[in-house]
Amino acid sequence: MPIDQKIRELQERRKRILLGGGEKAIRKQKAMGKGTARERIMILLDEGSFSEYDMFVEHEARDFDMDKKSLPSDGVIIGTGTIEGAPIAIYAQDFTVAGGSLGLMHSRKITKIMDHALKMRIPLIGINDSGGARIQEGVNSLAGYGEIFFRNTLSSGVIPQISVILGPCAGGAVYSPALTDFVFVVQNISKMFITGPEVIKTVLGEEISMEDLGGARVHAEITGNAHFYAETEDECFAKIKELVSYIPWNNQRKAKNMEPAEPLDDCKIDNIVPSDPTLPYDVKDVIRSVTDKSEFFEIQRHWAKNMVIGFGRINGSTVGFVANQPLELAGVLDVDSSDKAARFIRYCDAFNIPIITFVDLPGYLPGVDQEHAGVIRHGAKVLYAYSEATVPKITVIIRKAYGGGYIAMGSRHLRADFVFAWPGAEIAVMGPEGAANIIFKKEIMASDDPEATRKAKVEEYKSKFANPYVAAAKGYVDAVIEPCETRRMLIHAIEVSDNKSVFLPQKKHGIPPF
Amino acid sequence: MEKKDKRLEKLNINYSEYTTRLSKKFKNRIPYKPSDKFRLLSFIPGTIIEIMVKEGDRVRKGDEVLVLEAMKMKNRIKSPLNGRVKQVDIKTNEVVPKGKLLIEFKPE
């Protein structure tokens, strides 16, 4: 056979495979607002950068008439490409082929690209769109999932792992995204749950729709399983690209530096925070007033809103922000906000991203539900994460820093490298009201006018302790600064911490309060 | 600007009143109620497949009073105390949610 004929044969073979599950299945996919697996990859990656591997892989299942079925590429596309020039390994399940079900060869393709990503130390992106295990392949599909989870864990903290849920992702399959760093969901398209509505109804008699059980909104707002929520696939891909621009390729590198830029003029830092510590403001305004171009890439925006986390740039370098949000639940620490902050701190630490903490919190959320939900165990994660982190840690106390919350939020005592406080900072064991009630209990009760005495004592406490100078006098705060000096101090702190090196005792790993 | 925010409410933490937004989760939290040993509640959603007692029956602590099937397990529920059955609040084959009152007891 002449070579040109062989090339034509290859082209024909490719053409057949590129049709995936066929035109009818593709039409059905599109009708749901979904792209095909290859389309999604093309939109996400730089134009012309995608190289596909294992296109000709076929399954070997024989039972249940599977030997008569051909499943192009076995329902998953793998390959490598680039996003804004950064190398990426990627896989995308193809729902048009046997519902994207995961069989032995399907899983081998995924683990092949995962191994490749780890070996080459490049980020991995997984696009999930699958009905679940290919039941005809029995325990082979379970083995496949297990091999994927193992590699997710092995790669954790070495290369960035991003999961994109663009269809169903149910049963055991959900544990791959859950083990990765960032999970993206899209309205009406993403569905994640361990047991579906049918099973729940049969076993427990509870009726619920798929959307209400494990739709995009649920995971973005209620469970915290998702980190980014988008209304369309295109919006989701744009967000992934933005995320990739903030993070390094692997844990041996630093994120790429961008051209430094000033914050926008309209972010006037001096006028954001009310002096009365009980009044709210949006801490994101404070963050935007110190970042380059006033840009802030928020993570888990809809979940545990009393804690704000995300990336920004200071003088061109990526930094991670952790901030109490006085606008939501007064910015308290609670079960969810502790989990949110702790995991992000560990992410930044693993990938050499300095952590900037903005503190303004009244303490922990009181309540039986919180105590019984294990706020001790969850709150401890924040202490653990800050203490363990060896990246540069810079803390700015904006206003209140009371009690255990003060210690937890990146304090000097957990080895923050720099602690700055604004002049309105109140660093104390608790708020003036609570403190005065305890310290002056006898005087207040013995007084002819207890209310007047109480007020006077609150004022006395306020003037003595509700300021940054008691902590500054002990060196717990390095500098009391004007709000407008914050950006300059942050830039300097990051510059001088560039070669930070600390030595921790050798251990296999710690036992964080998971 | 903040003053116009209609979502702002009050939250008291350690005797200080904070003006802030409250989350749905916080507003919907279920107030704690101490458990009442005279009220037997379902510990899991499921189906009542057998009831061994009726109103007025004398029960000893540990007597089996009903069978609640859930997750393919037939859970044989025992009386938590010595006493009498004040009221049976379920029927055989009834599907019950978690925390549903099943049987009320009274002292002998």
Enter the ipTM. Answer: 0.84
Q: Do B70 and A204 touch (CB under 8 A)?
A: yes
Percent of chain A with pLDDT over 90: 89
**Confidence at residue A62, expressed as pLDDT on a 0 to 100 scale:** 86
- Rounded CA-CA distance A111/A419 in Å is 44
Residue B33 has pLDDT above 90, yes or no: no
Contact (Cβ atoms closer than 8 angstroms) between residue B17 and residue A276: no
H-type helices in A259-372, by residue range?
283-288, 335-350, 368-372
Tell me the average pLDDT of chain A: 95
- Rounded CA-CA distance A253/A256 in Å is 9
State the DSSP string of A457-506.
HHHHHHHHHSSSHHHHHTTSSSEE--GGGHHHHHHHHHHHTTT----PPP
B28 falls within a domain: no
In A99-157, where do the E strands start and end?
124-128
Contact (Cβ atoms closer than 8 angstroms) between residue B61 and residue B14: no
| Tokens describing residue A49 | 């950068």
- Among candidates B17, B25, B47 on the partner chain, residue whose Cβ is nearest the Cβ of A278: B17
B17 falls within a domain: no
Find chain B residues with C-beta within 8 A of A308's C-beta: none
* pLDDT (mean) for B47-67: 95
Of B5, B13, B23, residue with least CA distance to A274: B5
- Coil/strand/helix, residue B74: strand
Residue B83 has pLDDT above 60, yes or no: yes
Chain A nearest CA to B98, separation (Å): 9
Pairing of strands A182-186, A161-165: parallel
Tell me the average pLDDT of chain B: 91
- Coil/strand/helix, residue B4: helix
User: pLDDT band for position B2 (50/70/90)?
Assistant: very low
Q: What is the pTM of this model?
A: 0.94
* Domain spanning A3-246: CATH 3.90.226.10: yes
| CATH domain A269-430+466-496 topology | 2-enoyl-CoA Hydratase; Chain A, domain 1 (3.90.226)
| B82–A contact, CB cutoff 8 A | no
What residue spans define the domains of chain A?
A: 3-246, 269-430+466-496, 432-465
The tens digit of pLDDT for each residue in A134-147 reads 999 999 999 999 99
Q: Residue A432: closest CA among chain B residues belongs to which residue?
A: B16
- Rounded CA-CA distance A484/A471 in Å is 21
- Rounded CA-CA distance A61/A514 in Å is 40
- Among candidates B13, B46, B70 on the partner chain, residue whose Cβ is nearest the Cβ of A366: B13
CATH classification at residue B49: 2.40.50.100
B49 falls within a domain: yes
> Do the domains A269-430+466-496 and A3-246 match in fold?
yes
Residue A313 has pLDDT above 80, yes or no: yes
Q: Number of structural domains, chain B?
A: 1
User: pLDDT band for position B54 (50/70/90)?
Assistant: very high
Contact (Cβ atoms closer than 8 angstroms) between residue A299 and residue A344: yes
Instruction: Please give the angle made by the CA atoms of A208, A211 and A214, to the nearest 5 degrees.
Output: 90
Q: Do B19 and A281 touch (CB under 8 A)?
A: no
* pLDDT (mean) for A275-302: 96
Tell me the helix, strand and coil percentages in chain A, rounded to 5.
Answer: 45, 20, 35
Chain B nearest CA to A205, separation (Å): 7
B69: containing domain: 39-106
Burial label, A300 (beta-carbon count in 10 A; 0-12, 13-18, 19+): buried
B73 falls within a domain: yes
Residue A205 has pLDDT above 80, yes or no: no
B4 falls within a domain: no
How many beta-carbon pairs under 8 angstroms link A with B? 83
Contact (Cβ atoms closer than 8 angstroms) between residue A141 and residue A133: yes
Of A19, A17, A36, residue with least CA distance to A166: A36
The tens digit of pLDDT for each residue in A401-457 reads 999 999 999 999 999 999 999 999 999 998 888 888 899 999 998 999 989 999 999
| CB neighbour list of residue B70: distance below 8 Å, 6 or more residues apart | A203, A204, B44, B45, B46, B47
User: pLDDT band for position B3 (50/70/90)?
Assistant: low
